[in-house]
Amino acid sequence: MSTRESPDRDVQSDSRLTDRHVVVTGAAQGIGRGIAVRCARAGADVSVFDVDTETAAETASLVRETGSEAIVVEVDVADGDSVDDGVETAVDELGPVHGVVNNAGVQRSVPLLETTEAEWDRHFAVNAKGPFLVSKRVATQMIDDGIEGSIVNVSSVGAERPFRGQGAYGASKASVLALTTVLAKELSDHGITANAIKPGTVRTPMVDEWLEERAEQQDTTPEEVLSDSLDTHILDRAAQPVEIGHMVVLLLSAEGEWITGESIAVDGGYLKA
Ligand SMILES: NC(=O)c1ccc[n+]([C@@H]2O[C@H](COP(=O)([O-])OP(=O)(O)OC[C@H]3O[C@@H](n4cnc5c(N)ncnc54)[C@H](O)[C@@H]3O)[C@@H](O)[C@H]2O)c1
């Protein structure tokens, strides 16, 4: 077991995102909440986009506790009108957007031969079309406002090394990597960068549901599934959401200005194990 078990211990705050406005989708809980609060600790004001506004309000409170501003915006990233309205509200309330994190996602663990067309389409609507719609709207806004901003897409190690049952999920996350490359190329003339992060196992409500589903399919317990899953990471522990937030802050800050078109694994070594 690694001794580096308290990832939050050294990093409480910094000023790398002072005076910036960051939009985080799917920020009501899990990784999105961790990213939102970590960005706020770096000085950013945060627009919390989610379909679940009640839970999103808790994230907004945590952001405000850092001294930053936060608003909750009800947005379904799979719906273009909802995205357009949401970005308009965010700009009206907190000013020009400097960074956007496409984090909202869904996952079901279903063998491909049992995956319905509706399940396949849902994964692609939220996980693939969502980042396209949000990036298109925010990048257009950045160009209009003369902002040289950054886009971060949360893909997954499942884009490259999916588990059984991650057919629709892995395929939708792989498409995010191609989207990121093209965004980086097409937006470079406007000074906008685009990168993807591939998290390994992070303890969130999504992973807890995945553990339950896999356990039922394998006739075992969620604890066993988690233990097997962590055996496939070089660092044999799950991450905390803030550890994805650390990489997001780097990519959104001046320190990340020369990084674009990249997909970065933040995965405890899963893709190399
Ligand atoms: N947890 C992990 O181990 C892990 C690993 C790799 C990648 N990821 C990715 O990280 C992201 C966050 O995952 P998580 O584990 O925190 O998930 P989660 O289910 O805990 O949280 C996802 C959030 O997205 C929101 N959301 C879902 N559909 C939406 C929509 N259509 N519009 C707006 N918001 C929507 C949910 O309400 C929720 O708040 C996802 O894209 C996921 O695929 C997670």
Residues 48 and 150 in one domain: yes
Q: Is residue 1 part of a domain?
A: no
Q: Give Cβ neighbours of residue 189 (< 8 Å, ≥ 6 apart).
A: none
Beta-sheet pairing, 45-50 with 70-74? parallel
Q: How far apart are CA 251 and CA 119, in angstroms?
A: 32
Active-site pick, 49, 132, 169, 210: 169
Q: How far is CA 82 from the centre of its chain?
A: 19
For the Cβ of 208 lying below 6 angstroms from any atom of ligand 1, the answer is: no
Indicate which residue's Cα is closest to atom 17 of ligand 1: 206
The 10s digit of each residue's pLDDT in 68-108 is: 999 999 999 999 999 999 999 999 999 999 999 999 999 99
Residues 234 and 143 in one domain: no
Q: Are residues 72 and 149 in the same domain?
A: yes
Residue of 35, 102, 103 best suited for mutating to test ligand 1, as the one with most atoms within 8 Å of CB: 103
Q: Are residues 113 and 221 in the same domain?
A: no
Q: Are residues 60 and 100 in the same domain?
A: yes
CA–centroid distance, 189 to ligand 1, in Å, is 31
Same domain? 234 vs 178: no
d(CA 16, CA 259): 16
Looking at the structure of the chain, the number of domains it has is: 2
How much is the pTM?
0.96
Residue 25's domain is classified under what CATH number? 3.40.50.720
What range defines the domain where residue 229 resides? Answer: 201-238
Q: What pLDDT score does 13 carry?
A: 84
Residue 9 lies in a domain: no
Q: Is 270 a catalytic residue?
A: no
pLDDT recorded at residue 1: 47
118/210 same-domain check? no
Closest protein CA for atom 30 of ligand 1: 76
Residue 270 lies in a domain: no
* Strands annotated E in the chain: 21-25, 45-50, 70-74, 99-102, 150-154, 193-199, 263-266
Residue 77 Cβ < 6 Å to ligand 1: yes
Do 191 and 225 lie in one domain? The reply is no
Residue-level pLDDT, tens digit, the chain, 273 residues = 454 555 555 566 899 999 999 999 999 999 999 999 999 999 999 999 999 999 999 999 999 999 999 999 999 999 999 999 999 999 999 999 999 999 999 999 999 999 999 999 999 999 999 999 999 999 999 999 999 999 999 999 999 999 999 999 999 999 999 999 999 999 999 999 999 999 999 999 999 999 999 999 999 999 999 999 899 999 999 999 999 999 999 999 999 999 999 999 999 999 999
Q: Give yes or no for a contact between 55 and 32, defined as CB atoms under 8 angstroms apart.
A: no
Using a 10 angstrom Cβ sphere, with 0-12 exposed, 13-18 middle and 19 or more buried, the burial of residue 120 is middle
The whole-angstrom separation of Cα 178 and Cα 103 is 16
CB 193 within 8 A of CB 181: no
For ligand 1, is residue 202 a contact (CB within 6 Å)? yes
